[in-house]
Amino acid sequence: MNQISFNLITATLGAIATYAFGGWSELIGLFLTAILVDYVTGIAASIKEQQGLNSQVGYWGLARKGLMLLVIMLAHRMDILLDTDLMMTGAIYFYLANEFISITENYGRLGLPLPAFLKQMIQVLRSKGEGL
């Protein structure tokens, strides 16, 4: 791939992300990281429980996460219409809390402890997502 093609792809992806989410923020970065950690720990837990990997389950897991991103994109567009930042932030907090709960469950399935401060953070995120 030559430099021009790489630059074109990068610029296009950046434009799509900016349209969808209004640019990059730490909250979006944390949410995408949580999606990745949830997916990886879910795979690890399934392997540990000797359930094997099921492509159908994996597909629907990724589809679910994609739909969360679509809701966040819709919330951002609503924020623009209403001249606020509450909708997208609230949607991210809501889904972020759900991702952390799922990660906690996966850690339990793996027999790994989760630090108490992370459990407290999950509760804070859950209340922020419900309160906005």
pLDDT per residue, tens digit, the chain (132 aa), is: 688 888 888 888 888 888 888 888 899 999 999 999 999 999 999 998 888 778 888 889 899 999 999 999 999 999 999 999 899 999 999 999 899 889 988 988 888 887 888 778 777 777 766 665
| Domain carrying residue 43 | 24-131
Q: How far apart are the first and last CA of the chain?
A: 45
Q: Residue 131 carries which DSSP code?
A: H
- Among 45, 92, 39, 34, CA closest to 63: 39
Q: What is the pLDDT of residue 34?
A: 96
Q: What is the pLDDT of residue 15?
A: 85
Q: What is the pLDDT of residue 59?
A: 87
Domain assignment present for 35 = yes
Report CA dihedral (10, 15, 18, 24) to the nearest 10 degrees. 10
Domain assignment present for 7 = no
Q: What is the pLDDT of residue 32?
A: 95
Domain assignment present for 16 = no
Q: What is the pLDDT of residue 129?
A: 63
Q: What is the pLDDT of residue 1?
A: 66
Domain assignment present for 126 = yes
* Number of domains present in the structure of the chain: 1
